[in-house]
Amino acid sequence: MGRGRFISLEGGEGVGKSTQLEALAEALHGRGLRVVVTREPGGSPGAEAIRQLLLEGDENRWNPRAEALLFAAARSDHVESTIKPALERGDWVLSDRFLDSSLAYQGLAGGLGIDAVRDLHRFGSDDFLPDRTLVLQLPENEASARARVRDGHLGDRIGSRPPSYHAAVDAGFREMAVREPHRVRLVDASGPAATVTARLLYALGDLLP
């Protein structure tokens, strides 16, 4: 078997990434593919340790530059320890978030600039990119309502930021789709879960065996 494919699933809070990640993994299994499901921040022992530092504690625990550096460090370990070895085995890797989250959250919404965050990725992970990035999209009010039902509140230090921040995150994802249309695809996350999964598979059609 040749090299596998790396797919990242992106989107703001409450768009259904976790549900769709499981459904997409099951659909790919059904096509006879070996699938590794992972997440960011996290996905390797070192990156999971950094995840706790990033998501727990007071909102002001890290300044924006420190936060971006921690994400880049976690991603570097994730790529080298988990993603690349799986791809070399011929597995498909599905990640709940990857670089585009940093570009949208820290780069655009956080004010650091997309190019500055991308430079960190070039250094930390040699600019390693997914074969396809699928960004789930919902109207802001619907996504917020889903997140409240899911969590009772937006509990971690990033999810609990104000609506203006999350609107900027959504704008960041849409900007990535404009910048890199071959890699980044926007996917409507409204409607029944099975319908959304079908849309994701359609967006992967040119990569599927």
Exposed, middle or buried, 19 (CB in 10 Å: 0-12/13-18/19+)?
A: middle
Note the Cα 21 to chain centre separation in Å.
Answer: 10
Order of strands across the sheet that contains 184-188: 35-39, 92-96, 6-10, 132-137, 184-188
For the record, the structure tokens of 128 come out as 């390693």
Residue of 105, 12, 96, 122 whose CA lies nearest to 64: 105
Query: Cα–Cα distance between 173 and 157 in angstroms, integer?
Result: 20
Copy the structure tokens of residue 181: 């249309």
pLDDT of residue 55: 85
Q: Please count the other Cβ atoms lying within 10 Å of the Cβ belonging to residue 46.
A: 16
3-state DSSP assignment of residue 99? helix
First CA to last CA distance, the chain: 12
Pick the CATH number of 6-203 from 3.40.50.300, 3.40.50.720, 1.20.1090.10, 3.30.70.270: 3.40.50.300
Amino acid 176: pLDDT: 94
Q: What is the pLDDT of residue 145?
A: 47
pTM of the model: 0.89
Strands 92-96 and 6-10: parallel
**Which tokens sit at 71?**
């994400």
For the stretch 74-133, pLDDT in tens is 999 999 999 999 999 999 999 999 999 999 999 999 899 999 999 999 999 999 999 999
| Domain locations along the chain | 6-203
CA–CA separation, 202 and 194 (whole Å): 12
Report pLDDT for 57. 78
In one letter, which amino acid is 183?
A: R
Q: Are residues 110 and 68 in contact, defined by beta-carbon separation less than 8 angstroms?
A: yes
145 φψ region: left (φ > 0), alpha (ψ -120 to 50), beta (else): alpha
Nearest of 80, 84, 100, 77 to residue 4 by alpha carbon: 84
Which parts of the chain have pLDDT scores under 70? 1, 140-160
Chain centre to alpha carbon of residue 153: 21
